[in-house]
């Protein structure tokens, strides 16, 4: 669903006609003449109803050979039924993207004109085609593409492994191929179809098959861990893991001892070097004062959010002290019994790229389902981790935001905001526009529980200023 879909939904609100569907039609190069007539016929209600009745009486494919009538009846039936059951009553709009050359063309040309002589040397700004409902994927891919260290290492990987005989196709090779396609374009702006990547993603994980609304954070988490797994398998296959590797930790958890009790340092991939940080979970027994510390790694931080808060306050809450008592008492090894204790999580080693996931979707027991929290959460352009670090402040700069548009977790649309060479860009699938830096704050959320604003920052990407300066 494009941005226009969100505007239409807002404009109609409670007045959305019961059971009606408003669908755009895909443009295959130059089929606007066809689309415009089909829309007129669809809203000729008597014609539509009789065509749907015809389809209902002749829906068995064996009854008749394919012709224009059966195809038209099938199309109108798709429009009538498509995805309707996934939406709450009164929220029935779901747009189909335009993959032709009629809509995005103006967007990218305007971007090139807007930047003019300031267009960054060697940079490319390309929209990504939407294959039905892949905005969750496109928005994350744009954020990752403009994570420059990650992009450069991925392109280097592609250059060293571009012979198809070197490795079988996987998500890593497909992603590297896509980023190479974008970066090597002769044109500065345009649209690219990430078809190969999307096909591989759906083949790899059944969660992302079909056309249901997906979660951008789940996709990001799956993708980064999958890239790590592929790189580790390739390294094992090449027998190139050094025995004297630095004692880094792998993604998603602490080091695990080998069967013989000796810890073997795992491989540190370039994915780890960009996104991995280390958390320390400290527990202090209130009887003997013994402190137990356990390290674990992370590729992103998921933060609980509150109304009228900020990322800084959410990080403070993340590292706040929790008392373990009653049924939650801690087993102290020194006391050999359950004791009251205080528990605290700290960021021991901050990552080069800090990815923050704002937990906007919460299960509400009374409703029996997840609900979207439209809370206003301010995310600063410059972020300090002074409240969670023991050593000197770690400073970060915001360079990308994945935004969720919509009122609920099971429907909506994803777009991304990206900072590139001091310019802020808005990526909405095929469309790319330049925006003012001040526009970023419109995605903080709403101070009121019920608001027409449904555009909220969901995943934040911060890069270390120190690491950026050193590079």
| Paired strand residues for 397 | 382, 463
- Exposure of 382 in the CB half-sphere (CA atoms within 13 A): 5
Antiparallel, parallel or unpaired: β 322-324 and 341-349: antiparallel
Antiparallel, parallel or unpaired: β 125-128 and 189-192: parallel
What is the radius of gyration, based on Cα positions, of the chain?
25
Q: From the candidates 213, 217, 413, 423, which is the catalytic residue?
A: 413
Task: Give, for 219, the enclosing helix (H) or strand (E).
Answer: helix 216-237
CA dihedral 112, 116, 119, 121 (to 10 degrees): 120
Q: How far is CA 72 from CA 51, 84, 320, 412, in A?
A: 8, 20, 60, 28
Of the candidates 86, 75, 94, the residue with the CA atom closest to the CA atom of residue 4: 94
Q: How far is CA 70 from CA 54, 63, 80, 83, 312, in A?
A: 9, 11, 15, 21, 58
Cβ–Cβ under 8 Å, residues 436 and 424? yes
Q: From the candidates 103, 135, 174, 314, which is the catalytic residue?
A: 135
CB atoms within 10 A of CB 24: 18
CA distance 289 to 334: 10
Mark whether 32 is an active-site residue: no
CA dihedral 254, 255, 260, 265 (to 10 degrees): 180
Sign of the torsion formed by the C-alpha atoms of 350, 354, 358 and 363: negative
CA dihedral 152, 155, 157, 158 (to 10 degrees): 180
Which 8-state DSSP code applies to residue 135? H
Which residue spans within 308-394 are E strands per DSSP? 309-310, 322-324, 330-332, 337-339, 341-349, 353-358, 361-364, 369-372, 377-378, 382-384
Q: What sections of 88-170 are H helices per DSSP?
A: 104-115, 135-145, 148-160
CA distance 326 to 319: 22
> Exposure string (b/e) for 343-377, b if CB count within 10 Å is 16 or more?
bbbebbbbbbbbbbbbebbeeeeeeeeeebbbbbb
Mark whether 411 is an active-site residue: no
Active site residues: 135, 413
């Amino acid at each position: 669903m494009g941005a226009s879909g969100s505007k239409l939904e807002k404009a109609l609100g409670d007045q959305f006609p019961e059971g009606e569907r408003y669908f755009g039609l895909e443009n295959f190069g130059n089929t606007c003449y066809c689309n415009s007539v089909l829309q007129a016929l669809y809203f000729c209600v008597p014609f539509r109803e009789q065509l749907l009745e015809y389809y209902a009486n002749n829906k068995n494919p064996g009854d008749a050979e394919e012709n224009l009538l059966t195809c038209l009846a099938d199309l109108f039936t798709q429009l009538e039924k498509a995805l309707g059951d996934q939406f709450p009553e009164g929220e029935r709009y779901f747009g189909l993207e335009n993959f032709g050359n009629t809509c995005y063309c103006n967007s990218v040309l305007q971007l090139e004109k807007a930047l003019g002589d300031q267009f960054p040397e060697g940079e490319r700004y390309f929209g990504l085609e939407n294959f039905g409902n892949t905005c969750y994927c496109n928005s994350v891919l744009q954020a990752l593409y403009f994570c420059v260290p990650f992009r450069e290492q991925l392109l280097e990987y592609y250059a060293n492994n571009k012979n198809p005989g070197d490795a079988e196709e996987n998500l890593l090779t497909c992603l590297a191929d896509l980023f190479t396609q974008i970066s090597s374009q002769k044109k500065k702006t345009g649209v690219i179809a990430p078809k190969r990547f999307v096909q591989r993603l759906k083949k790899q994980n059944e969660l992302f098959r079909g056309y249901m609304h997906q979660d951008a954070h789940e996709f990001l988490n799956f993708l980064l861990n999958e890239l790590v797994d592929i790189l580790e398998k390739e390294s094992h296959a090449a027998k190139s893991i050094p025995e004297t590797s630095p004692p880094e930790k792998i993604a998603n958890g602490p080091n695990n001892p080998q069967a013989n009790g000796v810890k073997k340092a795992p491989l540190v991939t370039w994915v780890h070097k960009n996104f991995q940080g280390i958390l320390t979970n400290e527990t202090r027994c209130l009887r003997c004062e013994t402190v137990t510390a356990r390290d674990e790694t992370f590729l992103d931080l998921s933060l609980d959010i509150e109304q009228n808060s900020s990322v800084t306050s959410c990080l403070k809450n993340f590292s706040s002290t929790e008392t373990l008592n009653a049924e939650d008492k801690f087993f102290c090894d020194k006391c050999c019994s359950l004791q009251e204790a205080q528990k605290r999580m700290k960021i021991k080693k901050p990552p080069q790229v800090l990815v923050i996931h704002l937990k906007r979707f919460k299960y509400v027991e009374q409703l029996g389902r997840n609900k979207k929290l439209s809370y206003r959460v301010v995310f600063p352009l410059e972020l300090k981790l002074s409240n969670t670090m023991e050593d000197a402040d770690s400073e970060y700069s915001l360079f990308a935001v994945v935004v969720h548009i919509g009122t609920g977790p099971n429907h909506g649309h994803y777009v991304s905001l990206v900072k590139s060479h001091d310019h802020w860009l808005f990526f909405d699938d095929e469309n790319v526009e330049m925006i003012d830096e001040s526009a970023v704050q419109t995605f903080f959320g709403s101070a009121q529980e019920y608001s027409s604003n449904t555009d909220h920052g969901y995943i934040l990407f911060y890069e270390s200023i120190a690491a950026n300066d050193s590079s």
